[in-house]
Amino acid sequence: MSSPGERPAHGGGAAGLAADGRDPRRVPANWRRLLDPDEWRLNAEGLPFRRAARVIALRRDPRPAILLVVGHDFSDASRSWAFTPGGGLLPGETPLGGARRELAEETGIGLAEACFTGPVVERRAVFAFNRVTCRQDELFYLTHLAAGDDVVDQSGWTDTERELLDSLRWWELDELDAAVAAGMTVYPHMLPALARELMEGWDGRVRHVVEH
C-alpha cells in the first residue's frame, strides 16, 4: 500500500513507554486499528515502523514528466500530498523486489528488475498519519519509461488505497514546479529538483534524506 502523507512530528525518546511498548504521547492505544498491523511494528522508541521501497518513474516524451500519486490523510481530508508509487515490504522481500511489485500493483506497469536503477535515494522519515506518529525507512529506485510503456491502470488498487488516494498520473516537470510553488506538498521535498537531475540518468550517488 502507498505510504501515508507526512507532517512534522514532535520529538520523543524511548523512556516512558506504555506496557504494550508504544510511546503513549505519540501513539494511541488503538493504533493497530488506524494502521495496517501486517505492515507496521512497534520499534524500540515505541513508534510503528516499517521498511518500504518506492519508484521514481520518469519519461522524456512528449515532455519531461514524473509519475506521481496524490493522496490525503484519513483523519483530515484537507491534508493532501504527492509522492511516488511504492509501499511497505513484505516479509522476506528485497527492496528492489518490493519496488517492482508496488509499481505493478499501484500503476499496472510491470517491469523486469533489470529496468530499475539504484537505489538512488535512501530516506528516513518520522511523520504523523491518522493520529499516529510513525517512522519509515525507504529506498527509491529509478526507471525511465518510453511511450507506450507509460500507460497507468488503477484497477489493482485495494479498497483502502481507493479511499486514501485521489489520483495517479504523469506530471510534467514544469507543471510540478508550478504546483509546488502554489503550495502543493511533495515527498520527499527534494523530488522536483531530483527528477530533473535524474532525467538524463543517475550519477551513481545515493542521496540520503532525513525528513521529520
How close are the terminal C-alpha atoms of the chain, in Å?
Answer: 21
More confident site: 72 or 74: 72
The torsion angles phi and psi of 132, rounded to 5 degrees, stand at -120, 135
Cell 490523510 sits at which residue?
73
Cell 491534508 sits at which residue?
79
DSSP-derived letter for residue 61 is: S
Q: Provide the sign of the torsion angle of the four alpha carbons 192, 197, 200, 201, taken in this order.
A: negative
Q: Which domains does the chain have, with CATH numbers?
A: 31-211 (3.90.79.10)
Q: Which residues, other chains included, contact 183 with Cβ-Cβ below 8 Å and sequence gap of 6+?
A: none
pLDDT at residue number 125:
95
The torsion angles phi and psi of 72, rounded to 5 degrees, stand at -140, 165
pTM for this structure? Answer: 0.88
E-assigned strand segments in 26-162 = 41-42, 48-59, 65-73, 76-83, 86-88, 117-129, 132-144
Q: What is the pLDDT of residues 156-180, one digit of tens each?
A: 888 877 877 788 999 999 999 999 9
Instruction: Tally the residues of the chain.
Output: 212
**pLDDT for residue 194 is more than 90:** yes
Rounded Cα distance, 116 and 105, in Å: 16
pLDDT at residue number 1:
52
pLDDT at residue number 10:
46
The torsion angles phi and psi of 49, rounded to 5 degrees, stand at -135, 145
Alpha carbon 75 to its chain centroid, in Å, reads: 18
Least confident of 97-101, 124-128, 146-150: 146-150
User: HSE of 29 in the Cβ direction (CA atoms, 13 Å)?
Assistant: 2
